[in-house]
Amino acid sequence: MENKGKREVVVSALQFACTDDVATNVATAERLVRAAHSKGANIILIQELFEGYYFCQAQREDFIQRAKPYSNHPTILRMQKLAKELGVVIPVSFFEEANNAHYNSIAIIDADGADLGLYRKSHIPDGPGKFYFNPGDTGFKVFQTKFAKIGVAICWDQWFPEAARALVLQGAEILFYPTAIGSEPQDGGLDSRDHWRRVMQGHAGANLVPVVTSNRIGKEIIETEHGKSEITFYGNSFIAGPTGEIVTAANDKDEAVLVAEFDLDKIKCKRHSWGVFRDRRPELYKLSNCDDTQYGWTRSSEALEPQTWTHFVQINALPKVKFFLR
């Protein structure tokens, strides 16, 4: 879509079920990227770790072998070629090996196929995720693409308002969250969908920026030493506008290609007129830099004291492991 006189951008969120075959999943992602492009999309978000099953529901050493170095990563190279062919921006989620460290990472591919750099997931949730991933060391970054300055964060990052605000303070005009979320392996009855969606709608409204979220669908079953573990991913990928309104959304079962158009200059004027950044008082926010243990919160690696039980949901699964709802 030509941008004449306005800074209009069309964003897209993809949603599909993954198999345990990399080639099949990458081919599906490419097919849906092409479908999004045919609908006029300029920036197209693929879901988190789309190359295979979401292995983080179980702790297995063989899954670590799935990590690959950032340099010359085959899926990133393929998406660079695709981005250049179509003239679109594609954030690419992947499991990164970096010497002895492993990260949940995303590379930002610009519309000319250039790799603009990567972001490594900052917040690693309790459970098997901590077995696979080091906490990211990139900090929150924004990327100047052909169509917009964008901020990206990954799954559990999306629950933290500090992350969204840090990105917008650096000039992010749109926030993108690739995600893999559904039922908890230890309790299939837990459903965080509505909470999950409202949190990100809040980020959009509080920062007056669009938010694009891509999640997977389907049931994935993984063998563990304790038997089978399964997650049913609830999809519901969506695009929210700058006041937090849902512009378009998918359901919990079907493959989807969501698109929405935004006028970034119009949104910039709205953000300025609301004054939420003009009226900020950073000198009053020093509390946000404090360790939470100073105010009665116990970190998950510490003993769960009776007076702090309301801060956790503890699920009887692996010994000495506490899971947050996420």
Q: In the chain, what are the domains?
A: 8-290 (3.60.110.10)
Closest residue by Cα to residue 109 from 71, 147, 79: 79
Residue found under tokens 């995600």:
179
Name the catalytic one among 8, 48, 96, 220: 48
> Can you give the three-state secondary structure of 224-280, one letter per residue?
ECCEEEEEEEECCCEEECCCCCEEEECCCCCCEEEEEEEEHHHHHHHHHHHCCCCCC
Alpha-carbon span 229 to 185, nearest angstrom: 6
pLDDT digits (tens, 9 = 90+) for 205-253: 999 999 999 999 999 999 888 889 899 999 999 999 999 999 999 999 9
pLDDT digits (tens, 9 = 90+) for 150-191: 999 999 999 999 999 999 999 999 999 999 999 876 666 778
Under DSSP, the state recorded for 282 is G
Name the catalytic one among 18, 56, 97, 121: 121
Q: Any catalytic annotation for residue 48? A: yes
Tell if the pTM clears 0.85, that is, is over it. Answer: yes
Alpha-carbon span 84 to 176, nearest angstrom: 20
Name the catalytic one among 8, 51, 155, 184: 155
Closest residue by Cα to residue 238 from 163, 172, 176: 176
First to last CA, the chain: 36
Q: Any catalytic annotation for residue 268? A: no
Q: Are 150 and 173 in contact (CB under 8 A)?
A: yes
